[in-house]
Amino acid sequence: MRRITTLIAVSTLAVGAATAQDSNELSIDGAPMVTEVAAPAHMENVDTIYSGWRFRSVETQSLEMDDFDNPAFVFVDKGIDLFDAVDGSEGKACASCHEDVAEFAGLRTKLPKVQDGELVTMEELVNGCRTERMGAEPWKWSGGDMTAMTALIGLQSRGMPIDVAIDGDAAPFWEKGKELYYTRVGQLDMACSNCHEDNYGVMIRADHLSQGQINGFPTYRLKNAKLNSSHGRFKGCMKNIRAEPYKEGGEKFKALELYLASRGNGLSVETPSVRN
Ligand code: HEC
Ligand code: HEC
């Protein structure tokens, strides 16, 4: 089913032998996570979906298994401070209206979602409250304040299965995202699917290719020692194939986010995950 021809054809990318997914199980502070499950019905070319955690080294994996070891929690703590911090012309904090961040349990599993005809992401819900309800400046999409907050809110859903809607109002956005996923771009003329669908499990430049799931975002990366948004990650992958990345927060990345989220329907939310 999986082909490595595309990658072999690309001379600049070193490809090693395919390796099977690890069979180890993830539990975080004792709570079991689903890292492998039957693919959702809409996926035609993949039978089983796997969390990106399954493709990481044992050392990286272990960092996610205990919140004391997980470097992302420094940023989650910052999110807690921001939640209580007054900002903007209305003199309000998030906590002025949202009594407890725990009220957002489950929200991360449903995003992005369509609201009043528009596809909305977690970042937009947060910034909507900042600009419209607090009279505060919007946070930068992948900035430290935003990723701290999206990690804190996402954490409230940890262990719950991703469950984004792809039908009804969401269908046109989903179709758009699907098209982008399979569209070849850049000097290397590759699509997301060429790596994350056709070749997951193989080694690429000493990195173990995953299915490109987003159930763990925002994710702490050892590479840059900070939380990374999903759009930031998409941008990085586009740069690696020497394509002009789409805009963070733009319609294309939002549609791609919905489509990728739907390819992970059934996996546990792992926010905030740890990757290399
Ligand atoms: C002045 C009151 C107010 C403030 C301050 C406020 N919010 Fe909201 N927020 C609301 C209301 C009202 C809604 C819409 C109703 C709802 O879903 O709770 C909302 C919705 C949301 C949602 C979407 C919930 C959903 O289920 O779709 C998120 C996420 C959110 N707020 C986060 C924040 C964060 C983070 C802050 C601080 C940066 C903040 N809010 C500040 C009143 C506020
Ligand atoms: C040349 C191969 C290649 C292409 C094409 C590619 N990626 Fe990646 N991507 C990688 C590698 C390598 C990694 C890091 C290892 C891993 O998690 O797969 C990665 C990681 C990711 C991750 C992080 C997964 C996690 O568990 O944290 C996401 C999300 C992702 N890619 C999305 C995309 C999207 C969206 C596209 C298309 C715009 C794309 N990638 C195109 C090679 C690729």
CA-to-CA distance for 254 and 259, rounded, in angstroms? 9
CA-to-CA distance for 173 and 119, rounded, in angstroms? 7
Would you say the CB of residue 107 lies under 6 angstroms from ligand 1?
yes
**Going by CA atoms, what residue is nearest to atom 8 of ligand 1?**
129
Reading the block at residue 91, the tokens are 């003199």
Instruction: Give the residue carrying structure tokens 């907050």.
Output: 149
- Whether 146 and 118 map to the same domain: the answer is yes
Domain encompassing residue 143:
73-155
Last residue of a domain, one of 136, 155, 174: 155
In the prediction, which pLDDT does 106 show?
98
C-alpha of residue 126 to centroid of ligand 1, in Å: 7
Note the pTM of the prediction, 2 decimals. 0.93
For residue 219, give the CATH number of its domain: 1.10.760.10
Nearest to 153 by CA among 269, 18, 21, 52: 269
In the prediction, which pLDDT does 181 show?
98
Atom of ligand 2 nearest to the CA of 194: 5
C-alpha of residue 172 to centroid of ligand 2, in Å: 24
User: Distance from first CA to last CA of the chain, Å, rounded?
Assistant: 27
- Whether 52 and 176 map to the same domain: the answer is yes
Number of domains in the chain: 2
Would you say the CB of residue 151 lies under 6 angstroms from ligand 1?
no
Q: Tens digits of per-residue pLDDT, 179-210?
A: 999 999 999 999 999 999 999 999 988 889 99
Q: Is the pLDDT of residue 99 over 80?
A: yes
Count of C-beta atoms within a 10 Å radius of residue 21:
17
Where in the sequence numbering do the catalytic residues fall?
A: 237
Nearest to 37 by CA among 25, 29, 28, 27: 25
Q: Tens digits of per-residue pLDDT, 149-161?
A: 999 999 999 999 9
Q: How many CA atoms lie within 13 A of 175 on its CB side?
A: 6
Would you say the CB of residue 9 lies under 6 angstroms from ligand 1?
no
Q: How far is CA 257 from CA 34, 81, 145, 220, in A?
A: 20, 28, 20, 18
- Whether 166 and 47 map to the same domain: the answer is yes
- Whether 136 and 196 map to the same domain: the answer is no
